[in-house]
Amino acid sequence: FFFFFFFFLTECIVFKMPSPLMKAKVVHKRTAKFKRFHSDRFMRVDESWRKPRGIDNRQRRRFKGTAPSPKIGYGSRKLTRFHNQDGFKRFLIRDPKDIELLLMHNQRYSAVLSSRLSAKTRKAVVERGLQLDVKVHRANARLRTEEATA
């Protein structure tokens, strides 16, 4: 067990995390998506939200027992809108050059690596992120070799 733990620690990259500029607590009142009325009953009705507009529609009239509808009360605080729980906003890295854009914004944005990036490119982006003191989400993804998992 100790050998595996030691081996795992040597393979992973250890990061010093930058602290976010925004210190307010981030509260997400609702994280579940609102489902479209009757999307569970008919295959032809997609789950993506559409406002019910029928004159007799139960959900539009907000009867008891119907699914919740979007309301202004579900909205986030303007100060913390689009922020992660750690206080950073997300910035998608699609290209290795994109990490350079976060040079002056490392306390407000954190890097999220695109799923299209190869392991070699990810490694380069993560190393550059360390130099620029930028937080990189899931920095160890696709970086462990097959020998480490075996």
pLDDT at 68: 95
pLDDT at 99: 96
pLDDT at 121: 94
Q: Name the one residue in this structure whose structure tokens are 């380069």.
A: 124
The yes-or-no verdict on residue 69 having pLDDT over 80 is yes
pLDDT at 2: 46
* pTM for this prediction: 0.73
Amino acid identity for residue 143 in this structure = L
Give the tens place of pLDDT for each residue, 3-49.
444 444 445 555 567 888 888 899 999 999 999 999 999 999 999 99
pLDDT at 11: 54
Give the tens place of pLDDT for each residue, 93-121.
999 999 999 999 999 999 999 999 999 99
